[in-house]
Amino acid sequence: SDGLRPKDIWQRARAAAKQAVTNGLAAEAKGADVPPYLDWLSRQLRPTRRRARREIKRRIWSQLSGGYRVAKKAMEAQGDFGREQTYYRFEVKARMKRPDVSLTERFVSFFYDHASNYGASIGRPFATFFVFLGVFTIAYFSLAAWLGVIGDNAAFRPGEGWVRALELSWNAAFRGLLILPLAEPETITSFADQLFFPDSGWWGMATRALVTAQALSSLLLLFLFALAVRRKFQIS
């Protein structure tokens, strides 16, 4: 792999894995060949072919992830932390290609990849934080507009509504669950109070759910940032 970029290494390994899957399926299909007039037998063999296809893919991606694991340990022994991190990413990506990996694992891996590049990027958690800040600002504004809090004849006009929605999103990101009110105030005038205590209690629960989700996502991004710093500078 000398002289090759990490992207080239991954693409070549992935192409080799796909070719191996194709060859394995071709060999398996020859063994399962049946005359066309035996439709019932063909239907009986289809589940077997699907299982064979899954097993071939599982074995290939398992072997590939195992090879990356060996390469990662070799780079760790040599003190090449950059390549060690590269092979770690490839190991996780190859493992996620296995057909027996659950959707939960795939989602966690997807988030881990895009939010911090598997712990290799210090900047991605910050970028993801501001993306979430914008997404939740839109969510609060949309909810307030739906409830009639924002409008030309409402308590807050659209321009001010965006500012209040951003303020609520910012507080939820940095103060977290501390902004959740414990009791309904005597007078409901602020933007946040009108979302927490609307005429329908269910929408108030929706606001609390959004705040809770944003607070937890901020804590998770803080953890990913700390993990990236630890890996970047090899802090034990």
Whole-angstrom Cα distance, residue 38 to residue 32?
Answer: 12
Task: Determine the pLDDT at residue 160.
Answer: 95
Task: Determine the pLDDT at residue 57.
Answer: 79
Mean pLDDT score, 102-118: 92
Task: Determine the pLDDT at residue 35.
Answer: 44
